[in-house]
Structure 1
Amino acid sequence: MNFHLSHPFPFNWLIEFVIILSSASQLHHPQTMKMVIMFICPFFSCSWFDYISSRVVSLQLVNMSFLWKSSNSGATEKTLTLEEQQQKIDELRKQLGEPSSVAIQGFLSDASILRFLRARNWNVQKASKMLKGAVKWRASYKPEMISWEDIAHEAETGKIYRADYKDKLGRTVLVMRPGLENTTSGKEQIKYLVYSLEKAIMNLTDDQEKMVWLTDFQGWSLGSTPLKVTRETVSVLQDCYPERLGLAILYNPPRVFESFWKIVKPFLDHETHKKVKFVYSNDKESLKIMAEVFDLDKLDSAFGGRNTATFEYTSYAEQMKQDDKKMQSNDTGSDASSEASFYSGTDSPKHGDGEAEA
């Protein structure tokens, strides 16, 4: 079936989307991706091949590692015993040296080092390089020091927030509504995403280290997020938060996203592509996914659940301020207070009036 578009299709966005979702796939080589693109382009009657292939190469698909495990030259993921894993951790610690601050010391837990090792298929040298980069970024960016007051304006519309429910596996759920973008500063948008990730991670239980991203595409357009912001966001996520995403649910995305994904999927390993779910509100079969993943009594009605409460800014602000205090006191465990509800009413999140960056 051919897709003939009446206007030039912005494949740069589509490619960014696939890069983010297939970050650690078996699409190791630019030539492989070029073959895929060559097959796809005629379906869209476009002449974007050179641009797309150059974008894929420049963004180094092989190094994308945030969502899932990074490729290691096509090697099958190794399976190590607990003793072997500990040996790798100890070896990597020796290469890192002494932490530069209390915050960095807290970041360099055994669990954190394990994530970087898994992201580099237990290659200590590669994991060391990746982890040193993340440590340098954290020492400079200081994500743990971002407070609610720093990003409160970014949160006004509910474009990103931590849900007051978890999935059936007990994973923290981060709701994203890119159609509710209310600001124009890419720097501030990334800061808010980092803040949200840090708080989501802080609220993970001891038996979970991954989260669920539930992305609602209602109201989204190609102009919602500039391409530059997308690239910078991917850079932070891939390098500094590996092995943190367990499931990505795309709710009512543009259909062309899934069409493109189906073409790319055969090139991906099973563990990668099964972590991406496309759900449509007018498709009963795809809605079954929501029932499999969530308790429908707790899930937002906007996502097919039975909970009619919606995001309420004031309540969420109070909860985030409490989380700020917990992080500042180095108490990052999950307790009852961290699950306090910030939902009320039945109105959907509203768009805010964004102002151009000065």
Structure 2
Amino acid sequence: MLQLSNMPFKKSLALSPLEERAKINELHASLGTMTEVESKFCTDACLHRYLIATNWSKKKAGKMIKDTLKWRDLYKPQHVEWEEISKEAEAGKIYRANFRDRNGRTVLVMRPGVENTGNLEGQLRYLVFCMENAITNLPPDQEQMVWLVDFEGWNMSMIPLKTAREIANVLQNHYPERLAYAILYNPPKVVEVFWNVIRPFLDPSTQKKVKFVYANDEGGQKLMESLFDLDMLECAFGGRNRCKFNKDDYVVSMKKDNGKPV
């Protein structure tokens, strides 16, 4: 298993609810006049997430939000059409699960071992589509989602460095604090090695979100049972649900979410 690093970290600020409220108000004021679309995006919950991601720095959070607003204006992630990314979705490399965790949060299943295209832009568009869809399907009391990553059939050569860098950039800079936790299920040894390399550069709160779970480890299975209803959880992740990704069923579901006729 992974060993904790001895490298010191900058401690995250712990603020009272009143202090958090003041920070959010200050950040709102610093953003100035916004368009209707920008105002709709910059909710209190949104600003709260950006402030947490920047350790409550109004300056850093403000810059980060403005960069995201520019990105969203150009990339228009909320308007990615199903027809654009349907090819990327066919293999089931990323999809919204038909179950939630015990807190009711949306679950994205990721299977990098079934990557079916070499189109970086298409892959990014599909990832963004899945992120936006997962957010739309969050219950009103939740801001974060869950990732379940199945490594069956995966090897490092399947994700070029350029692709990994672009994916990390989009997730880190434009979807901060959207992840509740990520389960890496039966990851190959190379993933642990890579994690040990990057872990010292991550905030402790981020570290805690990544959980390595192995099918033959009793502790890991107890963790899965504490997080999910095993009758609903796919058997690929230690659950009792034998249903597998069905492309046709998923098309119907996504078209409904996308406001398209089935």
* Residue in 1 that maps onto 2:150: 216
Deviation at 1:256, TM superposition (A): 3.4
Secondary structure of 1:223 counterpart: helix
Among 88, 91, 94, the alignment partner of 2:26 is 91
Matched positions, count: 258
Query: 1:211: how far off?
Result: 1.1
Quote how far apart the aligned CAs of 1:98 are. 2.4
Instruction: Provide the secondary structure at the position in 2 that maps to 1:169.
Output: coil
Return the letter of the residue paired with 2:249: S
Which amino acid letter does the alignment assign opposite residue 163 of structure 2?
V
Q: 1:278: how far off?
A: 1.2
- State the TM-score, normalized to the length of structure 1: 0.67
1:301 corresponds to which of 215, 218, 235: 235
Residues 109-162 of structure 1, C-alpha deviation per residue, up to 9 Å, x if partnerless? 110011111111111111111111111101110000001111111000100001
Q: Residues 145 and 180 of structure 2 are in contact (CA less than 8 Å); yes or no, is this contact kept in structure 1?
A: yes
Which residue is 2:64 aligned to? 130
Change (3 A) 1:135 1:267: closer
Q: 2:119 aligns with which of 168, 182, 185?
A: 185
Q: How has the CA–CA distance of structure 1 residues 180 and 202 changed in structure 2, closer, same or farther, with 3 Å as cutoff? A: same
Q: Could you tell me how far 1:105 is from its partner in structure 2?
A: 2.4
TM-superposition CA deviations, 1:76-101 (whole Å, max 9, x none):
2222233322222222222222223x
Query: How far apart in 1 are the matches of 2:249 and 2:216?
Result: 31
Match of 2:191 in 1: 257
Aligned partner (choices 248, 252, 259) of residue 182 of structure 2: 248
* Rounded Cα–Cα distance in structure 1 between residues aligned with 2:131 and 2:159: 18
Shift of 1:192: 0.3
Moved more, 80-89 or 135-144: 80-89
Q: Structure 1 residues 247, 26: CA separation in 2 closer, same or farther (over 3 Å shift)?
A: farther
CA–CA distance in structure 1, aligned partners of residues 6 and 259 of structure 2: 42
Specify the alignment match of 1:343 in structure 2: none
2:134 to 176, 200, 220: 200
Q: Distance in 2 between matches of 1:133 and 1:27?
A: 31
1:290 to 2:224 alignment:
yes
Residues 1-358 of structure 1: pairs in structure 2 closer than 5 A: 74-100=9-35, 102-259=36-193, 261=195, 271-325=205-259
Between the aligned partners of 2:150 and 2:114, the Cα distance in structure 1 is 10
* Contact 1:248-1:276 at 8 Å conserved across structures: yes
- In structure 2, the gaps of 5 or more residues are none
SS in 1 for 2:24: helix
The 8 Å contact of residues 214 and 248 in structure 1, kept in 2 or not, is answered as: yes
State the 1:323 CA deviation: 1.4
Secondary structure, aligned partner of 2:184: strand
Equivalence for 1:7: none
Q: Secondary structure at the match of 2:259?
A: helix
Q: What TM-score comes out, normalization by structure 2 length?
A: 0.90
Separation in 2, partners of 1:217, 1:136: 34
CA contact under 8 A between 1:104 and 1:138: conserved in structure 2?
Answer: no
**Deviation (angstroms), 1:275:** 1.9
DSSP-derived class of the 1:206 partner: coil
Matched-pair contact (CA < 8 Å) for 2:235–2:242: yes
List runs of 5+ in structure 1 lacking aligned partners: 1-17, 29-73, 327-358
C-alpha change, 1:227 and 1:261, in structure 2 (3 Å) is closer
Q: In the TM superposition, what is the alpha-carbon distance from 1:262 to its structure 2 partner?
A: 5.7
Q: For 1:26 and 1:138, how far apart are their aligned partners in 2?
A: 38
Q: How far is 1:285 from its partner?
A: 3.6
- AA of the residue aligned to 1:79: A
Instruction: Give the distance between the partners of 1:176 and 1:260, measured in 2 at CA.
Output: 18
**Aligned-partner Cα distance in 2 for 1:235–1:261:** 17
Secondary structure, counterpart of 1:99 in structure 2: coil
